[in-house]
Chains A and B, each alone.
Chain A
Amino acid sequence: MSESVISVENLVKLYGDLRAVDDISFEVRTGEVFAFLGPNGAGKTTTVEIIETIRNATSGKVLIFGMDVRKNRTEIIKRIGVLPQEFSSFDRLTVEETVRYFAALFESDCDVQHLINLVNLGKHRNQLYTNLSGGLKQRVGIAVALVNDPEIVFLDEPTTGLDPRARHDVWDVINGLKKEGKTVFLTTHYMEEAEVLADTVAIISRGRIISTGSPSELIDKHSTSIHVTIKGGMGISSVAEAMGLQWEAKNGGSVVMEARDNEQILEIMMRLKEKNIGYDSIDIRKANLEEVFLKLTGEGLSGGGGH
């Protein structure tokens, strides 16, 4: 296991009476993709921006590259790349001018064309920022976050508002960064995104981290049930009834029942055979991160919205 590049201890941020970040501690290891997963108002942006040195914590200790964020802003900023939430840039600069502008701010002689191609903006390099669609603007933001060849890349909701195709493009870029050995700190509302990309996921709600681990660890740890979806003829639900399992009829004539363990799955199969109940398909699936998340936070994806 590699060493930690970010370490946060007992971080607290108050806005008046509101505990936007409420005693959070975690570590991010070098080279991993770390995802902050949480609903609106959970405190993701606040935490990330404290680590990026652009907000001040109320209390707690934050080290990045072993340096205190309160004291080493100049040094830290040179080594990180940031895509702020809802990134926006100068309306009347072209894509290429925008990337060059930020490269100049870092006194960096990076390969601007390479960065533009990396985020698939080659065709749009001479288009004014203001005329780009939302998804393309977001990609400009990612290119800009890479001008200084950062060791850690912070991406605050990089795919919010993107269509599925554009989202997958961004995922490719993130995977590419990981291959280059960069550490990626991601915040997202999308379970799928965390599940696909992240080595470590921290679920955050109401300013607190409620669980941390790899996606599969989280699922193992928190899922109490296995979903068995059977599509087919009559009488399937009677099996669930007989076994006292929770079940639900779904559209298209399928029944979803919740099994506790493999024993119960076997029992379901046995009973289907005994009663000669026919079926078209059987799908056995552990709970996904979304269900874990909903269970842990008691909130929907877009629900919550603060305190």
Chain B
Amino acid sequence: MMQIVIASGKGGTGKTTVATSLAQVAAERGAVRFLDCDVEAPNAALFLHPVLETHRDVGIRVPRVDAQACTYCGKCAEVCQFHAIAVVGKKVLVFDDLCHGCGSCTWHCPEQAISEHLAVTGVIDSGTTPEGIAFAQGVMNVGQTMGVPILRELKQWTPATGDAPPSTSLRASGALEIRDAPPGASCPVVETMRGADFALLVTEPTPFGLHDLKQVAAIAHDLGIPAGVVINRDGIGDAAVGTWCADRGLPILLRIPMERRIAEAIASGQTLVDAVPDYRVGFQELLERIVAGVNP
């Protein structure tokens, strides 16, 4: 299954607009699964209208210490690089909100005194869209700060049997996965991109857009993922994005002009290709270029 990540260095550039339209045209040619990885504020469901019928709690596995078995040797605290577990005197303290669920303490405890318990940090909602796109989104609980564990679970998600399309067809070579990345250039973006076959970077032709594009392009580059650019609101700003892409050999795969009807479609909860069907061809070509680029 080919995996495409749609990313942008900041929010509001039209990343979800591109991701949802790409998913719709992809669904016309084969099985698609869509992952909304913006766990702080997922919004692709507002455009793709999936029926989210499955909800699964996810989180991190935090340690719990059996006071009977513990010898207070301090090994767990020593190996925890996040200082989430402390041993003082005859007490072991665990700070769930510092814990990354890495399992080191459990692994190193010489007395097998540690067991792991799920601390729920979010939920994965999943279902199917009217076009048959298998859809899942991760939603981080309010007050939580670590999105990466939810993202890892989300990337593992496979549609349950009975959901259309069946997971067997998703494993077929023509199947596509589209991940809508969180905005920004921090750990959750890196985690979303990791393992993908292609990164589609959405930007605006302004100095701010270029600044943010450079950051996400650097992540894709560091992860060794081929990338291409979509320029949204083309016509505003200047030509610096185009020049920089040319210098770096980053192909500009699509330009979406600044148009009032596009903004209106998005405000009304429609995807771009539904609201303005003349963009359908552009997105089909975009998809073909990505697929051809990855499997030449």
**A, B from the same assembly:** no
B residues near A (Cβ < 8 Å) are none
A residues near B (Cβ < 8 Å) are none
